[in-house]
A and B are shown apart, each in its own frame.
Chain A
Amino acid sequence: MAQWMRRRQGTDRLPVTLARRRLYILPTRAGLAFTALLFLMLLAGLNYANSLALFLTFLLTGFALVAMQQCHRNLLGTEVVAAIAPAVFARSSGAVQLILGNSDDVPRMGLEAKLPQGALVHADLAPHTRQRLELPVAAPRRGIVRIERLRLSTAHPFGLFRVWTWVHAEVAMLVYPHPHGSLPMPADSARNAGARARTGAGADEWAGLRPFRDGDSPRQVDWKAYAREAPLLVKEYVQGASELRIFDFAQLGALDQETRLSQLARWVVDAEAHGERYGLMLPGAQIAPDRGPEHRHRCLATLARFGLERGER
Chain B
Amino acid sequence: MTAVATPATDGTSLRPLLWTCAAFAGGVLLHADRVPPWAAAVALLLIAWRLLTAYRSGGYPGVAVRALLALTLVVIVLMRFHTLNGLAAGTTLLLLMAGLKLLETRVARDQFVMVAAGLFLLLAACLDRQELARAPLYGLQAWLCCGALAVISAPATSARAALGLAGRTLLLAAPLGLLLFVFFPRLPGAFWAIPRNDLALSGLSDTMTPGSIGQLATSYDPAFRVQFAGPAPPPQERYWRGPVLHEFDGQSWRRTPAEPRAHLPRERLGTAYRYRVQLEASNKRWWFALDTPTQAPDARVVLTYDDVLIGAEPLTEPVSFDQVSYTHTRSTQPLAAAARRQDTALPPRGNPRARALAASLRERAGSDAALVEAVLDYLRTGGFVYSLEPERLGADAIDDFLFRTRIGFCGHYASAFVVLMRAAGVPARVVTGYLGGEWIPYGGYLLVRQSEAHAWAEVWLEGRGWTRLDPTAVVAPERLRRGILDLLPQELPARARLLASPWLNELLQRWDAANAWWTNHVVRFDLEAQLGLLERLGIRSPDARSLGWTFMVVLCLWLAVIAWHVGRSIRPARPDPLARAYARLCRKLARIAPRAPHEGPLAFGAALIAKRPEVRTSVLPLLERYAALRYGPPSPERRGEDIRAFRDAVARLSLPLARGTTHDRGRI
User: Which of A34, A41, A73 is within 8 Å of B570, CB to CB?
Assistant: A73
Q: What separation, in Å, do the CA atoms of A93 and B142 have in the docked complex?
A: 47
Stretch of B123-131, B278-286, B463-471 that contacts chain A? B123-131
Q: What separation, in Å, do the CA atoms of A29 and B107 have in the docked complex?
A: 14
Give residues of chain B (183-238) contacting chain A, Cβ–Cβ below 8 Å. 184, 186-187, 190-193
Chain A residues, CB < 8 A from B96: none
CB distance from A111 to the nearest CB of B (A): 11
Chain A, residue nearest B134 (CB): A52
The listed residue with most A CB atoms (<10 A of its CB), out of B108, B153, B186, B522, is B153
A30 touches B109 (CB 8 A): yes
Chain A residues, CB < 8 A from B534: none
Instruction: Decide yes or no: A41 and B156 within 8 Å by CB, A66-B562, A106-B569, A160-B149 being known contacts.
Output: no
Chain B residues, CB < 8 A from A156: 153-154
Give residues of chain A (37-74) contacting chain B, Cβ–Cβ below 8 Å. 37, 40-41, 44-63, 65-67, 69-70, 73
A46 touches B186 (CB 8 A): yes
CB distance from B551 to the nearest CB of A (A): 12
- Identify whether the interface residues of A are mostly helix, strand, loop, or mixed: helix
Chain B residues, CB < 8 A from A45: 123, 126
Q: Identify the 7 closest CB pairs spanning chains A and B, nearest first.
A: A62-B173, A159-B153, A62-B176, A59-B177, A58-B180, A52-B126, A58-B177
Q: What separation, in Å, do the CA atoms of A29 and B186 have in the docked complex?
A: 29
A41 touches B169 (CB 8 A): no
User: Which of B116, B172, B173, B187 is within 8 Å of A37, CB to CB?
Assistant: B116
A55 touches B177 (CB 8 A): yes
A77 CB within 8 Å of chain B: yes
A33 touches B186 (CB 8 A): no
B152 CB within 8 Å of chain A: yes
Chain A residues, CB < 8 A from B119: 37, 41, 60
B170 CB within 8 Å of chain A: yes
Q: Chain A 259-303, CB within 8 Å of chain B: the 1/0 string?
A: 000000000000000000000000000000000000000000000
Chain B residues packing against A (C-beta within 8 Å):
108-109, 112-113, 116, 119-120, 122-123, 126-127, 130, 135, 138, 142, 146, 149-150, 152-154, 156-157, 165-166, 169-170, 172-181, 184, 186-187, 190-193, 522-527, 559, 562-563, 566-567, 569-570, 572
CB distance from B313 to the nearest CB of A (A): 13
Q: Chain A 144-158, CB within 8 Å of chain B: the 1/0 string?
A: 000000000001111
Chain A residues, CB < 8 A from B175: 62
CB distance from A224 to the nearest CB of B (A): 39
Chain B residues, CB < 8 A from A55: 177-178, 181, 522
CB distance from B146 to the nearest CB of A (A): 6
Instruction: Decide yes or no: A33 and B116 within 8 Å by CB, A59-B173, A66-B172, A110-B154 being known contacts.
Output: yes
User: Which of A46, A51, A53, A109 is within 8 Å of B123, CB to CB?
Assistant: A53
B112 touches A44 (CB 8 A): no
Chain A, residue nearest B521 (CB): A51
A56 touches B153 (CB 8 A): no
Instruction: Decide yes or no: A50 and B126 within 8 Å by CB, A70-B169, A73-B566 being known contacts.
Output: yes
A312 CB within 8 Å of chain B: no
Further contacts, 20 of them, CB under 8 A, given A41-B123, A51-B526: A33-B112, A34-B116, A44-B123, A47-B193, A48-B190, A50-B130, A51-B523, A53-B123, A54-B181, A55-B181, A58-B177, A61-B173, A63-B146, A69-B563, A76-B570, A77-B570, A106-B570, A158-B153, A158-B166, A159-B108
Chain A, residue nearest B130 (CB): A52
A104 CB within 8 Å of chain B: yes
Q: What separation, in Å, do the CA atoms of A104 and B527 have in the docked complex?
A: 47
Q: What separation, in Å, do the CA atoms of A76 and B113 have in the docked complex?
A: 30
B523 touches A58 (CB 8 A): no
Chain B, residue nearest A159 (CB): B153
A12 CB within 8 Å of chain B: no
Instruction: Decide yes or no: A155 and B116 within 8 Å by CB, A30-B109, A53-B126, A70-B169 being known contacts.
Output: no
B153 touches A52 (CB 8 A): no
Chain A, residue nearest B119 (CB): A37
Chain B, residue nearest A127 (CB): B569
Instruction: Decide yes or no: A159 and B112 within 8 Å by CB, A59-B177, A104-B570 being known contacts.
Output: yes
Q: What separation, in Å, do the CA atoms of A281 and B126 have in the docked complex?
A: 83
Chain A residues, CB < 8 A from B173: 59-63, 65-66
Chain B residues, CB < 8 A from A70: 169, 566
**Subset of 28 A-B contacts with CB under 8 Å:** A41-B123, A47-B192, A51-B181, A51-B522, A52-B130, A52-B522, A53-B123, A55-B177, A56-B122, A56-B138, A58-B184, A59-B142, A59-B174, A60-B173, A62-B173, A65-B562, A66-B172, A66-B566, A69-B562, A73-B570, A104-B569, A109-B157, A110-B153, A124-B156, A158-B150, A158-B153, A159-B152, A160-B149
Chain A residues, CB < 8 A from B191: 47
A256 CB within 8 Å of chain B: no
A214 CB within 8 Å of chain B: no
Q: What separation, in Å, do the CA atoms of A259 and B338 have in the docked complex?
A: 119
Q: What separation, in Å, do the CA atoms of A124 and B108 have in the docked complex?
A: 19
A105 touches B154 (CB 8 A): no
Chain A residues, CB < 8 A from B149: 158-160
Chain A residues, CB < 8 A from B525: 51
CB distance from B43 to the nearest CB of A (A): 20
CB distance from B553 to the nearest CB of A (A): 16
